[in-house]
């Protein structure tokens, strides 16, 4: 069930703070690094909202504009040819967004604000961006807008680079999938607090072929049906969500080389209710996002120790555990790194190695652990070709 979202913009919720913090801390190094290509940047917030909450907190549009201004000033000092174009799409609050942008940046060359649906507008926005560095922030009001065919189409556009940060409501999807296949989930604790999830346009599902096609279009395949059929006899709700998220990322990897995800919880002590998924064909982008996600996790754990605040991440079972929920030990991480090295077919930069490793295994450890293992392999001559990780191209945290 969707909730009444009329008051959504009155107070910024904690999980919105986490999402926006992840975006903000990535955009700064992203803008700065991509500006060095001397190719223009096109940043699109596909579900922009009002841009500002009534409690005074900025939304993602104002956050992005602030980062943009700071990066452009730095680029001018470095004498880089710089251009960051911004576009904001929203169906319900375009006029509110325009007013909030003008109030925050009265001297700013107003960005493009589109009153409409992302699904209807985005292709037209991107059609003339040949050679641009394009970044899409896709934080939809529900799962209905996450059309896998549309994501596939983006990959074929002639951009210089292309990245997406997607909010995938994995538990919301699985709930709807259960409804379509007439599977009872009402007694499962995993679904008890889904009312906190924001859905301005809830997916209307029932036991029909049209609903099955809708979910298959969102997922990019019908793999979700096997997961529902295994529930609840073979797997519980949390295992089903983890499996669904894994399959969703695998589907994205059919078109994009690097895919990361960060689980986010709505309440303390709870399992993740949705995931922030980063998609890119560029190893440097994946490297930066992995570094960003790991830092955000560390900040939250530090908050717990210092201020007694709770973490919105799944405490251990996803970020630093095996698929079965068991902690991954240092020897197990070492085994995975060494196995990954052994499977390498060509030389690569350390940045490329870490991006590929994190895509394959998730954020199971920090970069330092990987560097230490590779260094030990070189010193013991178990890494046959140290040129795989030359100092010239190494990017250390």
Q: 54 versus 367: which is more confidently predicted? A: 367
* Token reading at 62: 């104002």
Query: Would you place residue 269 in the very low, low, confident or very high pLDDT band (cuts 50, 70, 90)?
Result: low
Confidence band for 308, pLDDT divided at 50, 70 and 90: very low
pLDDT reported for residue 306: 47
SS3 assignment, position 309 = coil
Model confidence pTM above 0.85: yes
For residue 107, pLDDT beyond 90: no
Q: What is the pLDDT of residue 3?
A: 45
Find where tokens 């993740």 sit.
272
Contact 20, 215 (CB under 8 A): no
How would residue 24 be classed by pLDDT, with cut points 50, 70 and 90? Answer: very high
Confidence (pLDDT) at 300: 57
Give the pLDDT confidence of 320-355 residue by residue, as tens digits.
443 333 468 889 999 999 999 989 888 888 999 999
Calculate helix-pair angle for 283-307, 14-35, nearest 10 degrees: 140
Res 54 pLDDT > 60? yes
SS3 content of the chain, % helix, strand, coil (to 5): 50, 10, 40
Residue 133 to residue 84: CA distance in whole angstroms: 9
Question: What integer pLDDT is reported at residue 81 of this predicted model?
Answer: 62
Q: What is the mean pLDDT of the chain?
A: 83
Using 50, 70 and 90 to split pLDDT, how confident is the model at 144? confident
As a whole number of angstroms, the distance between CA 216 and CA 104 comes to 41
- Per-residue pLDDT band for 183 (boundaries 50, 70, 90) equals very high
pLDDT of residue 256: 97
- The rounded distance, in Å, linking the Cα atoms of 186 and 257 is 37
Neighbours of 386 (CB within 10 A): 14
- Environment class of 173 (CB within 10 Å of its CB; exposed 0-12, middle 13-18, buried 19+): buried
Task: Quick: pLDDT tens for 187-237.
Answer: 888 777 665 555 545 455 566 668 899 999 999 999 999 999 999 999 999
* pLDDT-derived band at 307, boundaries 50, 70, 90: very low
Report whether 161 contacts 133 (CB < 8 A).
yes
Count, residues in the chain: 397
- Point out which residues pair with 90 in neighbouring strands: 115
pLDDT, position 373: 92
DSSP readout, 210-235? Answer: HHHHHHHHHHTSSHHHHHHHTTTTTS
Query: What is the full DSSP assignment across 299-321?
Result: HHHHHHHHH-PPPSS-TTTTTSB
Digit-coded pLDDT (tens) for 61-93: 999 999 998 888 887 776 666 789 999 999 999
Strand order in the sheet with 41-45: 112-115, 84-90, 41-45, 133-138, 161-168, 274-280, 258-264
């Amino acid at each position: 069930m969707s909730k009444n979202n009329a008051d959504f913009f009155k107070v910024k919720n904690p999980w919105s703070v986490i999402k926006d913090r992840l975006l903000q801390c990535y955009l700064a190094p992203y803008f700065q690094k991509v500006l060095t290509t001397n190719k223009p940047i096109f940043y699109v917030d596909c579900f922009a909202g009002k841009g500002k909450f009534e409690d005074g907190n900025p939304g993602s549009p104002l956050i992005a504009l602030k980062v943009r201004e700071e990066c452009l000033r730095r680029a001018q000092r470095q004498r880089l040819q710089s251009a960051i174009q911004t576009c904001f799409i929203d169906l319900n609050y375009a006029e509110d967004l325009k007013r909030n942008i003008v109030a925050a940046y009265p001297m700013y060359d107003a960005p493009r604000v589109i009153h409409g649906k992302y699904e209807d507008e985005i292709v037209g926005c991107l059609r003339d961006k040949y050679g641009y560095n394009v970044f899409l922030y896709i934080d939809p009001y529900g799962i209905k807008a996450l059309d896998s065919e549309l994501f596939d189409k983006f990959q074929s556009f002639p951009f210089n680079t292309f990245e997406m940060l997607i909010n995938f409501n994995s538990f919301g999807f699985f709930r709807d999938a259960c409804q379509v296949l007439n599977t009872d989930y009402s007694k499962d604790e995993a679904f008890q607090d889904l009312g906190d999830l924001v859905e301005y346009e809830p997916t209307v599902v029932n036991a029909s072929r049209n609903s099955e096609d809708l979910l298959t279009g969102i997922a990019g395949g019908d793999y979700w049906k096997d997961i529902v059929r295994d529930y609840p006899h073979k797997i519980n709700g949390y295992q089903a969500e983890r499996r669904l998220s894994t399959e969703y990322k695998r589907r994205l990897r059919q078109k994009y080389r690097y895919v990361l995800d960060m689980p986010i919880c709505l309440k303390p002590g709870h399992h993740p209710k949705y995931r922030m998924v980063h998609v890119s064909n560029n190893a440097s982008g994946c490297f930066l996002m992995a570094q960003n996600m790991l830092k955000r996790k560390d900040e939250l754990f530090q908050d717990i120790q210092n201020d007694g605040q709770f973490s919105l991440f799944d405490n251990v079972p996803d970020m630093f555990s095996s698929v079965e929920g068991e902690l991954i030990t240092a020897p197990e991480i070492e085994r995975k790194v060494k196995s990954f090295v052994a499977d390498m077919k060509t030389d690569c930069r350390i940045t490329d190695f870490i991006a590929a490793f994190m895509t394959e295994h998730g954020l199971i450890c920090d970069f330092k652990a990987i560097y230490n293992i590779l260094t030990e392999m070189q010193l013991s001559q178990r890494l046959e070709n140290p040129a795989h990780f030359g100092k010239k191209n190494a990017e250390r945290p």
